[in-house]
Amino acid sequence: MIDINIIRTNPDLVKENIKKKFQEHKLPYVDEVLVLDQEVRACKREGDELRASRNALSSKIGQLMREKRVDEANEIKAQVVKNNQRIVEVEEKEAEISAKLKKLMMSIPNIIDDDVPIGEDDSKNVQRLTVGDAKKATFEIPYHADILESLSGLDLDSARRTSGNGFYYLTGDIARLHSSILSYARDFMINKGFTYCIPPFMIRSDVVTGVMSFEEMANMMYKIEGEDLYLIGTSEHSMIGRFKDTIIKEEDLPLCLTSYSPCFRKEVGAHGIEERGIYRVHQFEKQEMIVICKPEQSRDWYKKMWQISSEFFATLDIPHEVMECCSGDLADLKVKSCDLNAWSPRQDKYFGELGSCSNLTDAQARRLGIKFKTADGEIKLAHTLNNTVVAPPRMLIAFLENNLNEDGSVNIPEALRPYMGGQTKILPRK
């Protein structure tokens, strides 16, 4: 959530930022916020004045009663009753206006960084870096579902019968490969100095609205019927929520955490669910990295985090690009984000998001009340960042295409062999 002081002092900056994100329908929100903010502050002033008057009058009542000036005391008591009634009215009005104000504030996007490319959608994202040798295929590479089936590793038909489209069974060496990649990612991050966590896989609504925009929530989250619980779409949600309404010691920052979880997503939108493969599904597993730091540290950590992911995929022999997300492709809470896209030798282009790294500055921290205490006792909002380490089964597509041999076997990179019982290849099965 954006700092209301920015709207108060520089509403034109906020409006220009909304235009950069191609969300012109939100331009009226800025003026509405300014009006509601004035009304809330007026309610606060009136409430404070009424409470001060009530306290002063109440002290007089005791004095008048001691002086046996009962009639005067009763008149003041009547005034105190009126003040109390008015205080209730003002507090109710303030609460109602504050709720409207908060809803609007949560819909206004965070101020993006100056170097974010301006564009309406992901077609305007900008390539910043390529890593690895993006080789052209020297033989025909099948569609990933066909590769998986040739390795006896995928069963979509059974999953449709049990669960519907968007679900899958992984079996045999492919299932082991899936688990091995997650185990390797866990140890890779621990060796980078991150603390390993397994968080709750369900969170309450106040955490959901703290970590994402309303639009993201509607398109992603599964609600548990009859309970104030949602299935997480990524462990970032519960990991950031862990620090809700807490004050962290300055010397404990940065907090560098890596977390495993299953992830559940409705995947509502134009892209739809992929029926024949595992690129876009309702359920997957993921290793995530989270950093909570001081404001002056977040820019450096943003760069460090995507570089860690890039290094990880290089060890799995997956060439990839780092794409800077343009303004229109940024979720409302993000000030800067980049995607790592894998090289697809089958398509002869970079395709398939391996992960996304984002700096949200203090937007999540303001919504959730995540603060830190400086050495001199000052309380400040922390900055939060998140980044995907790895998210199979999607990344299996890139892994298979880039490690496939002409005979249908798949090479196991050296880094994964200890997790695969020493296997160097996965062989096709007749």
Domain range annotation of the chain = 4-105, 122-426
DSSP 68-113: T-HHHHHHHHHHHHHHHHHHHHHHHHHHHHHHHHHHHHTTSPPPPP
pLDDT tens-place string over residues 231-267: 999 999 999 999 999 999 999 999 999 999 999 998 7
pLDDT tens-place string over residues 308-365: 999 999 999 999 999 999 999 999 999 999 999 999 999 999 987 899 999 999 999 9
pLDDT for 430 equals 65
- How far apart, in Å, do the first and last CA atoms of the chain sit? 56
Report whether CATH 3.30.930.10 matches the domain 122-426: yes
pLDDT for 213 equals 75
pLDDT for 322 equals 97
Q: Tell me which long-range contacts 87-92 makes (C-beta under 8 A, separation of at least 24).
A: 87/47, 87/50, 87/51, 87/54, 90/43, 90/46, 90/47, 90/50, 91/43, 91/47
pLDDT for 55 equals 81
Which of 349, 217, 213, 341 shows the shortest CA–CA distance to 279? 341
The CATH number of the domain covering residues in 4-105: 1.10.287.40
pLDDT for 271 equals 59
Residues of the chain with pLDDT below 50 are: 270
